[in-house]
Amino acid sequence: MSENGLRIDKWLWQARFFRSRSLAQRLCAGGRVRLNGNRVTKAHVMVHPGDVLTFPMGPHVRVVRVTALGVRRGPAVEAATLYEDLMPPQSKKLDAGARPPILAQRNSGAGRPTKTERRATDRLRGR
């Protein structure tokens, strides 16, 4: 860590948003991270406390404010002190409870579907 800041890929890794630093580097190199609204294309861009980061995580877009620069990749409790989540609370509830719709369901232990059942399932799915 230096007085000037910390590399964005290293900070994302230390804050436990990504499993490895190379994944964070790839996301930055792909231009999918925004720092204070500006697109980041290099992993060596420095972040400072107070900066706002926007980046995709799975099907969601995360918006966080950097509150501190990490010294190491520690436990999740320690990593949570490095940022403030700026996502609206109501969208978190909706996303957490959302599940994909179940198109066809078979009871456990019912065995393999018959040809007629498989064709009915295909018709239901629109194939």
pLDDT digits (tens, 9 = 90+) for 1-58: 456 789 999 999 999 999 999 999 999 999 999 999 999 999 999 999 999 999 998 8
Task: Report in angstroms the alpha-carbon separations of 65 from 23, 58, 90, 102.
Answer: 20, 19, 19, 37
Q: For residue 61, is pLDDT > 60?
A: yes
How many helices (H) and strands (E) are present in the chain, helices listed first? 5, 7
Give every CB contact of residue 74 below 8 A, 6+ residues apart in sequence.
Answer: 14
User: Which CATH topology does 6-88 take?
Assistant: 3.10.290
Q: For the whole model, what pTM was predicted?
A: 0.69
Q: Look at residues 15, 17, 21 and name the one whose alpha carbon lies nearest to residue 78.
A: 15
* pLDDT value of position 1: 47
Containing 96, the helix (H) or strand (E) segment is helix 89-97
How is the chain split into domains, by residue range? 6-88
Q: Which pair of structure tokens corresponds to residue 84? A: 């403030």
